Amino acid sequence: MDLGIKGRRAIVCASSKGLGLACAQQLAREGVEVVMIARGQQVLEAAASAIRAETGTHVTTVVADVTTPEGRAAVLAVCPDPDILVTNAGGPKPGNFREWTRDDWIAAVDANMLTPIELIRATVDKMIERRFGRIVNITSAAVKMPIEILGLSNGARAGLTGFVAGLSRQTVAHNVTINNLLPGPFATDRLLQTAERLAHDSGKTIEAVMTARKAAVPAGRFGEPAEFGQACAFLCSAGAGFMTGQNLVLDGGIYPGTL
């Protein structure tokens, strides 16, 4: 299936590993020129090289912390007018809300709410002028089904979701869509990080925690990042222009609601 986005330019944030990397990979397979961002240079360069070798697509790397104004400025200097924007950043630390200070909350809101909003603010009007834009925010299934130890994530991402719900209805008439992709448990470093905390709190081994988490997934397995990348590429496709303001859950069937 031709997604109709060959030759488009994409910024994919936090993309040297995991879900962001899978989105960059799949967009490059569709012929999209990709700007990849992460803080660690070595892993980022290796990931970009692998994508170039596989797809022959133009890939640019920016070593930056996307949650800082300087980091975002560095990204936008390289690609001021993307057709596609995939926002992403590391998730906040897990824990008990009694441990979290105001600074912890500010950091979570900065990374998982204000960073995507700032990137949207910097790019959406130029997308509207060109009458094409696809914005995908990587959030979390925790937005629909809160995870107890991820209160910082539950809270900050809900703020972004509320903002996007309003803006996405204003941009769609200009063929600029904004949607959120909500990952459930995907086999990435982040999943291990939350399992480590659960193991610490419960006195169980990490293996036992991971086995229990997997058993709770109706699909009987964790998600593969490539599956996430393919969903992202679909939302970025030319044919997805009638879909905006949606929260697409990718969780192997965990969310139990009818709607």
Closer CB to ligand NAP, 37 or 114, in the complex: 37
User: Restricting to residues 170-189, which ones interact with ligand NAP according to CB under 6 A?
Assistant: 183, 185-186, 188-189
Q: How far is the CB of 129 from ligand NAP (least distance, A)?
A: 28
Looking at 8, 10, 20, 180, which residue binds ligand NAP (CB under 6 A)?
20
Number of residues in contact with ligand NAP under rule CB under 6 A: 29
SS3 82: coil
Q: Are 20 and 27 in contact (CB under 8 A)?
A: no
Closer CB to ligand NAP, 75 or 176, in the complex: 75
Closer CB to ligand NAP, 26 or 67, in the complex: 67
Report DSSP letters for 107-120, one per residue.
Answer: HHHIIIIIHHHHHH
Q: Does 250 bind ligand NAP (CB under 6 A)?
A: no
Q: Are 17 and 91 in contact (CB under 8 A)?
A: no
Closer CB to ligand NAP, 45 or 125, in the complex: 45
Closer CB to ligand NAP, 23 or 176, in the complex: 23
Tell me which stretch binds ligand NAP (CB under 6 A): 48-56, 64-72, 101-109, 172-180. Answer: 64-72
Q: In the structure encoding, which two tokens stand for residue 152, read together?
A: 């910082």
Looking at 40, 56, 80, 253, which residue binds ligand NAP (CB under 6 A)?
40
What is the spatial distance between Cα 232 and Cα 229, in angstroms, rounded to a whole number? 5
The site string for ligand NAP over 67-86 (x = CB under 6 A, - otherwise) reads x-------------------
Report DSSP letters for 165-185, one per residue.
Answer: HHHHHHHGGGTEEEEEEEE-S
Element (H, E) at 212: helix 206-215
Strand ranges of the sheet holding 84-87, from the earlier edge strand across to the other edge: 59-63, 33-38, 9-12, 84-87, 133-138, 176-183, 247-250
Q: In the structure encoding, which two tokens stand for residue 104, read together?
A: 């912890």
Summary count for the chain: helices (H), strands (E): 9, 7
Q: Does 191 bind ligand NAP (CB under 6 A)?
A: yes
Q: Which residues bind ligand NAP (CB under 6 A)?
A: 14-20, 37-40, 43, 65-67, 88-91, 138, 140-141, 183, 185-186, 188-191
